[in-house]
Amino acid sequence: MAIEDMVKQLDELIAKAEPLSLSSLYRVGEEAEAEIVANRLEAAVTRLTMKGSVYVQLVQRARGHNIESRLRHNMQVAISLRDDLNSGWTETVVELVHADTYSDFLEMADALLSKGYKDAAAVITGTSLEVHVRALCVKNGVTIAVAGKPKKADTMNADLKKAGVYDGLRQKQITAWMDLRNKAAHGNYGDYDKDEVRQFIDGVQAFMMKYPA
């Protein structure tokens, strides 16, 4: 799902929630409508982010609140998610399709490769790698943005090396992996073969296990 579609879904629910959130005394039928909208807001936040994300944790905290409080709370979480999407903070394919774990995508890449789809497998593996590199930055206190814009994968990779999370050889390996992903993403399919993609998948899996985020 494109970010624009995600934002549109959230905008529609926020628009329904706003007039209800302003009322401290519901008329007949409004309380039931408010509960439905609060539930839909929680469902949308859960569907549009990854399992265990801060957004999901926030909406779950309001489950025991009265309906007025829960509606306002969930609406604010949805507004935060929408604004973060518009700003590019919640990115990457892995988050947008609600992956439970990185390994799910590596398994998907492995299955695609076994069926001869080496290019799609390379793109998915590279996306998973970039997400993991970003998560390693967060874990190790390395900034993931400059002037409000998310850093590129190469920059984060260099920063992790500078921070001592891994050495120069590992940095060079990740750079090579990202180069393979970029070739696949830009249609340069003849620049690599199936065996290289196989090594890519296995290497990224080993990297994630050695450097958990």
pLDDT in tens, 30-67: 788 889 999 999 999 888 876 667 788 888 888 888 88
**What's the pTM?**
0.55
The predicted-structure confidence for 104-131, as pLDDT tens digits, reads as follows 678 888 988 998 999 989 988 998 898 8
Distance CA 202, CA 187 (A): 22
97 and 173 in contact (C-beta within 8 Å)?
Answer: no
Buried b (16+ CB within 10 A) or exposed e, 129-138: bbbbbbbbbe
